[in-house]
Amino acid sequence: MHVYIYDSFLNQKKYEKVTARIETRITDLGLNGKINRLGPMKNINDLISNEIKRGAKTITAVGNDETICRAINSMAGSEVPLGIIPISKEKNSIAASLGIGLEEEACDVLSARRIIKLDLGKANNFYFLANASIANRGTTIEINKHYSIEILEDGEVGIVNLGADNKSLPENINSNPQDGILELFIKTKQSKTFLKKLTGQSIFPFKKLTIVNRHHPVVLDGTIKINSPIEISVEKQALNVIVGKERGF
């Protein structure tokens, strides 16, 4: 059974036409199934867990990056693949990096059913697919227990698994969500190569580190905020995802 999770913002009247087109395309492709619409009274974790227990063949997140982030935190470790139907270009950089077109085009990707296993970043008990970030000031990073970096300048610490938002990433980053490694970079207003001064390289690959900041949370995929101390690691091949041919890795 195919299960579709519609994000709550799609309950707005302005999205009626696009969701109707998607449902028509899904039916034409023989992919019709159960539609669940999120709302104040529906918990996505319980919903997805129950659908997997009932034998869902695919769980498809319909919405944007935030929808995907919440879905993966319910599906990590499951063999059931995640499908994605992005609605509008806004806040849908993850789908684009996975080679998934918008709306009806995404239905064709679902039909092709090209499934690959992806690594996930793990921050304490939460997961992220694309990236995690935190404000620089007041942040201390302990890398692989060998040394620590304390950042005093304004800017941002970025941790990348999937290079979804290329505009905010260093030019030479080459993230691959199948290599078992995460990449760390530090941006400051004064210098774009702050980390290079410390390590000899502008991108620092790692498998585990700890972040401490008493004043700012770590933000996962622009959605989930968690307070420190936070241990960040990579969970290898933790998620099956239906992807397109034009993916960025």
111-147 burial code (b ≥16 CB/10 A, e <16):
eeeeebebbbbbbeebbbbbbbbbbbeebebbbeeee
Cα distances (angstroms) measured from residue 163 to each of 131, 213, 221, 236:
8, 24, 11, 17
What is the identity of the amino acid at 123? A
Residue with tokens 């993966």: 72
Backbone dihedral region of 144: left (phi > 0), alpha (psi from -120 to 50 degrees) or beta? left
Give the model confidence (pLDDT) of 36-77 as tens digits: 999 887 889 999 999 999 999 999 999 999 999 999 999 999
What is the average pLDDT across 20-48?
A: 92
- What confidence score (pLDDT) does residue 249 get? 77
pLDDT at 192 over 70: no
Residue with tokens 């092709």: 112
Q: How far apart are CA 62 and CA 24, in angstroms?
A: 15
Those residues with Cβ within 8 angstroms of residue 59's Cβ, 6 or more apart along the chain or in another chain: 3, 5, 48, 51, 52, 71, 75, 80, 81, 82, 83
- Of residues 208 and 166, the one with the higher pLDDT is 208
- Of residues 98 and 186, the one with the higher pLDDT is 98
Give the model confidence (pLDDT) of 81-129 as tens digits: 999 999 988 889 999 999 999 999 999 999 999 999 999 999 999 999 9
- What confidence score (pLDDT) does residue 201 get? 46
* pLDDT grade for 186, boundaries at 50, 70 and 90: confident
Looking at residue 135, the DSSP 8-state letter turns out to be: E
- What is the β-pairing status of strands 34-37 and 2-6? parallel
Number of H helices and number of E strands within the chain? Answer: 6, 16
Give the model confidence (pLDDT) of 147-184 as tens digits: 777 777 778 889 999 976 655 555 556 678 999 999 99
Q: Is the peptide bond before 229 cis (omega within 30 degrees of 0)?
A: yes
List of domains in the chain: 2-113 (3.40.50.10330), 126-235 (2.60.200.40)
pLDDT at 218 over 60: yes
Residue with tokens 């059974």: 1
- Give the predicted TM-score (pTM) of the model: 0.89
- What confidence score (pLDDT) does residue 194 get? 52
